[in-house]
Amino acid sequence: MSSTPARERILVAAMDLFMEHGFAETTTLQIATQASVSKRELYALFGSKQVMLETCIAERGSRMRLPAQFPAPTDGRSLHVALRTYGATMLREISDPEVVAVFRLGIAEAKRSPGIARSLEEMGRAPARAALRSLLQRARDAGLLAPGDLDTMMKRFYGLLWGDGLVWILLGIDAPPRAKEIERRSEEAASVFLAIHGR
């Protein structure tokens, strides 16, 4: 028996099987068997396949935010650092192979299992966007950004950060960015964004 906790084994097995067979085709018996747990234990921990998937997505989504103790920006320099940190976090987490695999699963299962896309939105994208909105709101309130619509600012920042890169990563044409490229892109996105919106 593995020393890895049952919860972790179940999540790993579930994602592996979702990727191999699709979300709709994977059974809880297959997950329990691969995780070396009983179905009773599986249901006691998660209740359903949907909850397992949502848990995987939520755990990834929680990593797509600024660190909890990151201070509010007080000047242009600290705002630049915060944007660069947020950008690097997003690039690193979203281009992680496991996250790319979840996006691909969501796309492949969009018609049969639309709940996957909803989970990606609620557990991943929404918290990450809320973190950026909060950062920009605090910066605007502090007079560090020119007046403007926060949604427009957010779209611009994401556009500067990603361009069309995520599409080609999802298609397997481009490799995910490495550490140096992540730092370069996040630095450039922060600099250009503040050149447009900063005071």
User: What residues pair up with 145 in beta bridges, in sequence order?
Assistant: 198
Domain range summary for the chain, segments of one domain joined by +: 6-47, 58-197
User: Of 175, 198, 35, 171, which Cα lies nearest the Cα of 91?
Assistant: 175
Indicate the residue type of 102. Answer: V
Q: Any idea of the CA torsion for 53, 55, 59, 65, to the nearest 10 degrees? A: 90
Residuewise pLDDT in 10s, the chain (199 residues): 567 899 999 999 998 898 888 888 899 999 999 999 999 999 999 998 888 888 877 776 666 666 666 678 999 999 999 999 999 999 998 888 878 888 888 888 788 778 778 877 887 788 888 889 999 999 999 999 999 999 999 999 999 999 988 899 999 999 999 999 999 999 999 999 999 999 8
Give pLDDT, residue 67: 62
Q: What is the pLDDT, as a whole number, of residue 126?
A: 85
CATH number of 58-197: 1.10.357.10
Q: How far apart are CA 119 and CA 106, in angstroms?
A: 9
What was the pLDDT predicted at 64?
A: 62
Considering the domain 6-47 in this protein, what is its CATH number?
Answer: 1.10.10.60
Q: Do domains 6-47 and 58-197 have the same CATH topology?
A: no
- The region that residue 72 occupies, defined by phi over 0 for left and psi between -120 and 50 for alpha, beta otherwise, is beta
Total residue length of the chain? 199
